Amino acid sequence: MLPFVINGPSRRALLAGTFASLAMPSAAQPAAADSGLPSRPNIVVILADDLGWGEIGSNGQRLIRTPNLDRMAEEGVRFTTAYSGAPLCAPSRCALLTGLHAGHGTVRENPEGGPQFALTDADVTFAELLQLSGYRTACIGKWGFGPELAGHASHPNMRGFDEFFGYIGHRHAHQYFPKYLWHNGSKVQLDGKSYAPHLFRKRAIEFIKESGEDPFLLYFPTTLPHSPSVIAGDEGRYEDMPWSGPNRRHAAQVDRLDNDVAALLRTLREAGVAERTLVLFTSDNGPHREKGVTPELFDSNGPLRADKRDVYEGGIRVPLIAWSPALRPRVVKQPVAGWDVLPTLADLAGVPVPANLDGHSFRGLLTGDGAPKHDHLVWNRPDKAQAIRRGRWKAIRFAPNIAGAGPEGRVELYDLSTDPGEQLDLAADRPDLAAELLATLDASIGDDPRIPYGLKTEITDGQIVVTLQNGSTVPWNEVRLGLDGPRRARAHTVARVDPGMAISVGFPLPAARSRGRVVARADFEARGRSQLFRKTHRGTPLSADAVP
């Protein structure tokens, strides 16, 4: 029997947590009263698929009209130097969800003819953090990780989303008129005549309208405007343009994306929740040039070089707009990255930020109070290319025989302050600086540095064992572990759980007459703020009668 156990951290975890607490000023703080943003706002994250930095009007687009996104940028906070986590789908989404760049994250590359890469139980997503703290959560659209298997650790329901509706794998997401979509753990059969973006918008609107007193998180990773350039109906305002069919349809996809954003913002207002909601709009990587689409026609990457799959600026610089009626309009030039989203959302929700992340919270940039600056930013495509930006300097290293590199590979160096288009390679002129940046790059790539975080449940020896893992940078004090549900168990208390430590408490299983949903709970204090985590037990039946 396991009534009460405290597990201390390993030396590595203890040192990591200790030094992180000294070095990371981005841990969650109570929201400032004059910040403009409400405490624990609703959060909507809209992720476009392959939308280039220059494909919206506020970043200079002239051929494709995006009036709703432009209005959002005019009314909100527009970031001019925002980066994706990677120049292509899966590693970029992994960085966004987990707060680790592709030198540390679980998923560092897209599959190339092999199986879809998966997240694991070690991956704490921003949805898990907010779900633990009482947010109602949904992912509607393209998940982008495999396998297509209900109950798998990589399934959205297992990574913090109460509801999932959409595609699990990214290859399936290439079908705009799919024969099926996933709703939570089940396949929903379709007739192949329904346009998936329409179904996603419809369900997202319903989710917002269902909002109650508890805050919500809506993650809306649309498939627009990813290849193939498929739309429902005609090409709209672009039907008579003297472009190729794929280019006209691509423009119509961006038009549809713009209208979907407008529909979500309109629903927030109609539901009466806009004032306490923050909306983030961004893209997973630069523009694509697939199946006949030519980004040069639209100047899709603006003044930047290259596009999707490249670690030049055109492949990784993306739009980022933050909108809320509570924010004052401003333009932010400070570089931020996709791996900053998790710590930012945790910060906004008042949840202790996990230790050893690569990201920093940019909440202060939304309110004009400032935020920690990155010493450097890293992008990693294993066996292909890597890049590092530190201040104005950016170094790129190509693997041997990649992108025209010879058998020794190739190193390039650019001064982005004078050469944002990366046209003048200075590596030969500054070999010392290039070597210094590459040494920092090498030191930034390695194993996952995180320590376990969260609330877990397990049935063993006739008990339900509840484990609280402090994977943050700060102590958790006055910790009480217990159960909600049909038969609330007596809570157990411990004075302090330090970073890297875990406590486990065993509770008797509910009797057969009391069987039903059981929710583990942990009450504690962190940085002067009261916290309440809840976790619904999944898996093994909870009746003692079911235990052999």
506 or 402, which is more confident:
506
485 or 137, which is more confident:
137
Is the predicted pLDDT of residue 55 greater than 70, yes or no? yes
487: pLDDT confidence band, cut at 50, 70 and 90?
A: low
What's the confidence (pLDDT) of residue 28? 39
312: pLDDT confidence band, cut at 50, 70 and 90?
A: very high
Is the predicted pLDDT of residue 154 greater than 50, yes or no? yes
Is the predicted pLDDT of residue 11 greater than 60, yes or no? no
What's the confidence (pLDDT) of residue 484? 86
408 or 298, which is more confident:
298
Q: Give tens-digit pLDDT for 58-94.
A: 999 999 999 999 999 999 999 999 999 999 999 999 9
Residue 261, classed as helix, strand or coil, is helix
228: pLDDT confidence band, cut at 50, 70 and 90?
A: very high
What's the confidence (pLDDT) of residue 359? 98
Is the predicted pLDDT of residue 1 greater than 90, yes or no? no
Q: Give tens-digit pLDDT for 257-290.
A: 999 999 999 999 999 999 999 999 999 999 999 9
Q: Give tens-digit pLDDT for 528-538.
A: 999 999 999 87
Region at 46 (left for phi over 0; alpha for psi -120 to 50; beta for the rest): beta
47: pLDDT confidence band, cut at 50, 70 and 90?
A: very high
What the block records as the tokens of 136 is 């109602």
343: pLDDT confidence band, cut at 50, 70 and 90?
A: very high
Is the predicted pLDDT of residue 9 greater than 90, yes or no? no
Dist. CA 145–CA 538, nearest whole Å: 21
What's the confidence (pLDDT) of residue 212? 85
Is the predicted pLDDT of residue 541 greater than 80, yes or no? no
Residue 434, classed as helix, strand or coil, is helix
**What average pLDDT is seen over the chain?**
91
What's the confidence (pLDDT) of residue 12? 37
Q: Are 145 and 119 in contact (CB under 8 A)?
A: yes
- Residue range 358-371: mean pLDDT, rounded: 96
What's the confidence (pLDDT) of residue 511? 66
What is the percent of the chain where pLDDT is above 90? 83
Alpha-carbon dihedral 97, 217, 180, 248, rounded to 10 degrees: -80
Is the predicted pLDDT of residue 406 greater than 70, yes or no? yes
List the beta bridge partners of residue 281. 46, 321
What's the confidence (pLDDT) of residue 485? 64
Lowest mean pLDDT among 147-151, 384-388, 483-487: 483-487
List the beta bridge partners of residue 380. 386
- Residue range 248-253: mean pLDDT, rounded: 98
- Residue range 189-198: mean pLDDT, rounded: 98
- Residue range 423-438: mean pLDDT, rounded: 98
What's the confidence (pLDDT) of residue 462? 83
What the block records as the tokens of 312 is 């030049």
- Residue range 457-465: mean pLDDT, rounded: 90
393-398: strand order across its sheet: 377-381, 385-390, 393-398, 410-415
What's the confidence (pLDDT) of residue 489? 60
13 or 442, which is more confident:
442
Is the predicted pLDDT of residue 111 greater than 90, yes or no? no
What's the confidence (pLDDT) of residue 117? 86
What is the percent of the chain where pLDDT is above 70? 89
353: pLDDT confidence band, cut at 50, 70 and 90?
A: very high
Q: Give tens-digit pLDDT for 499-535.
A: 999 999 999 887 654 556 789 999 999 999 999 999 9
Lowest mean pLDDT among 211-215, 234-238, 288-292, 299-303: 211-215
Examine residue 352 and say whether the peptide bond preceding it is cis (omega within 30 degrees of 0): no
Q: Which of 365, 369, 331 is nearest to 73 (CA)?
A: 331
- How far lies 59's CA from each of 64, 225, 517, in Å? 12, 17, 49
Domains and CATH numbers, the chain: 4-8+451-546 (2.60.40.10), 41-365 (3.40.720.10), 377-443 (3.30.1120.10)
Q: Are 283 and 318 in contact (CB under 8 A)?
A: yes
Is the predicted pLDDT of residue 147 greater than 60, yes or no? yes
- Residue range 148-160: mean pLDDT, rounded: 96
What's the confidence (pLDDT) of residue 17? 36
Dist. CA 468–CA 533, nearest whole Å: 9
Is the predicted pLDDT of residue 22 greater than 80, yes or no? no
- Residue range 374-388: mean pLDDT, rounded: 97
Q: How many residues does the chain have?
A: 548
